[in-house]
Chain A
Amino acid sequence: MSTASARTPKLGVQAATKVYQTASGDLLALDRCSLDVQPNEIVSIVGPSGCGKTTLLWSMSGLHHLTAGSILLDGKAITGPRPEIGIVFQEANLLPWRNLDANINFPFEIKGEKPDRAWIAHLLNRVGLDGFGGKFPRELSGGMQQRAAIVRALALKPSVLLMDEPFGALDSFTREEMNRLVEEIWLDTKTTIVFITHSIEEAIFLSDRVVVLTTRPGRVAKIYDVPFARPRSLEIMATKEVFDLTNRIRMDIVGERRPQAQQEQKTAEIVRIRP
């Protein structure tokens, strides 16, 4: 890494604004949202549903164009999809007519490059999918599909990995396992990760920083540092610090959504989630 990259954020989101034209008029999804993601950092973005998390991630990926503002990758504006950015989508988004190997080769096919066999084998081994190359997505569990999707996203050795609620469809045990896997991969590759999730626990477990967005239009409400050492164990999730942090973030989100009225329900929700 050059000295410049130590100062330049990996991803610089500068007053990102996105308006969708819908049948019922313009919809302001992101409003002057600003955020820096440092190199080798894991940042989670949480917020009430419909707050523009996914819009922000898609704009970072170059798949969506901002209405105003800009997003910089290593100091250069993102105007379209970039090979340095890998994406893990909601649900695994594997191509069902291809077996695992062919799914993982897909990025190379599009780029017209020869697949990096050694690297792919390393990744498959890392996520525990050795010997599954001939299987079709329908033959794999949801967790295995998402592992394969992670391998696919990392196949081109991106320097940034964008993850859009990747584990939302998985059961909670598989989800914890996947979270540990993401950390392991991060320890291995030190890829900068931007992670979108509904789960505050997941965000805290994984991230160096948790970014809370406001209700639509999305803007950065708060940023929390998560100071635990890595590798993290699930035990930290039972500590008072995590408990307090979870509640503060939840209050940010819930309070954001329902100003004062349903205070009791707020408490009820917290009790239900942390018995």
Chain B
Amino acid sequence: MSGDDAIPEFSKARAGDGQEVSLTNLSAFAGGPGIKSGAEVAAILAVAVVIVGGIELALRIFHVPQYIMPPPSSIAYALFDEFPLIAPHLGYTLVELVSGFAIGAIVGLVMAAVITQFPFAEKIVAPYILILVTTPMLALVPLLILRFGFGYTPRIIAVALAAGPMVMINAATGFRRVDSAKIALARSYGASTLQIFWKIRAPMALPMILVGLMIGAIFGLLTAVGAEMVGGGFGLGNRLTSYSSMIQMPQFFAVVLILSTLGILIYVLFFLIGKKWASWET
């Protein structure tokens, strides 16, 4: 912004100039080992079979009761058997997650973009953002239920409150990565502030934005399920409390399995987006 009167100095790599590699950027998107052959696939599957089979065997040999830990086979059976009953609840949870996340992400992104343009404003709001990030939004759910009842509303608000600050704080880190040489390049062609934002700042921030969206979505999922457990008669979280109160442990674990799958899908989704659009980072 005030780049005009800075002493031009480019050769040094500074923190935030896009050169550094940290845990929070998408270095994970660039590679990982990658599976190379059928033999590797076979080995991975064999290990999985041994682990799952071993658990099954151990639980049966030691006669562990179902209410403590059901064997994998009965969880799998419960998953297939109960799925038609669980499916609508998966749908409810997804509705809460997607709408709450969309609201939180949009508000978080806009706020990050605006706030980073005004360093002074950023200093003023920083403590509140920190409070929003660190407070478990689940704590507010009873209050939200009192105010909004047992429907979607309190849950969607809780998801948005959980996801928004995560998106915002990461996106703000991204927008703060000012590379004065790249901005100077754009200015040398007479770029407007808006063009600099869309053509330089936004793409530079994209890897961090994606990290924020991924963390926000996973926090959103946690909060949605937690909120469902607090109150209201629907959603996967409600299934968890209901199955556990009736000691239907295979069904309980079937829901847990669905939730972990959901979490993995969120990760994979953002991983693929990152690989496609942000792999230039490394």
Contacts and interface: CB of A to CB of B under 8 A. Distances in A.
Interface stretch (B170-178, B183-191, B251-259): B183-191
A111 interface: yes
B148 interface: no
Q: Which of A55, A81, A137, A156 is the most central at the interface, judged by chain B CB atoms within 10 Å of its CB? A: A81
A97 B280 contact: yes
A136 B206 CA distance: 17
A69 interface: no
B191 A110 contact: yes
Contacts of A106: 185-186, 189, 199
Interface string B228-265: 00000000000000000000000000000000000000
Interface stretch (B7-15, B66-74, B106-114, B210-218): B7-15
A138 interface: yes
A91 interface: yes
Contacts of B200: 95
Interface string B1-35: 00011111111000000100000000000000000
A207 interface: no
A84 B181 CA distance: 20
B184 A63 contact: yes
Contacts of B6: 20
Nearest to A58: B8
Nearest to A21: B5
A89 B184 contact: yes
B195 to A, nearest CB: 6
A101 to B, nearest CB: 15
A63 B6 CA distance: 11
Nearest to B3: A63
Interface in A132-184: 136-138, 156, 168-169
Given A63-B4, A81-B188, A81-B189, A96 B280 contact: yes
Contacts of B191: 110
A73 B18 CA distance: 34
A91 B9 CA distance: 12
B189 A27 contact: no
B7 A29 contact: yes
A110 B6 CA distance: 24
Interface in A98-137: 106-107, 109-111, 136-137
Interface in A46-64: 54-55, 58, 61-64
B60 interface: no
A168 B7 contact: no
B203 interface: yes
Contacts of A20: 5-7
Given A22-B7, A90-B11, A83 B190 contact: yes
Contacts of B206: 97
A168 B11 contact: yes
A93 interface: yes
Interface residues of A, number: 36
Contacts of A58: 8, 184
B8 A54 contact: yes
Contact of B199 (A55, A93, A110, A168): A110
Given A20-B5, A89-B184, A138 B280 contact: yes
Contacts of A85: 188
A211 interface: no
Nearest to B7: A20
Nearest to B10: A90
A95 B184 contact: no
A138 B280 CA distance: 7
A43 interface: no
B282 to A, nearest CB: 8
Interface string A19-50: 01110000101000000000000000000000
Nearest to A156: B189
Contact of B181 (A93, A97, A109): A93
A250 interface: no
A81 B280 contact: no
Contacts of A95: 182, 185, 200, 203
B190 A110 contact: yes
Contacts of A61: 188
Nearest to A29: B7
Contact of A63 (B188, B204, B278): B188
A54 B191 CA distance: 21
A204 interface: no
Contacts of A29: 7
Nearest to A80: B190
A95 B281 CA distance: 11
Nearest to A19: B5
Contacts of B187: 63, 81
Contacts of A80: 190
8 contacts: A54-B8, A55-B7, A64-B8, A81-B187, A89-B185, A93-B181, A97-B203, A110-B191
Closest 4 CB pairs of A and B: A110-B189, A96-B280, A97-B280, A97-B203
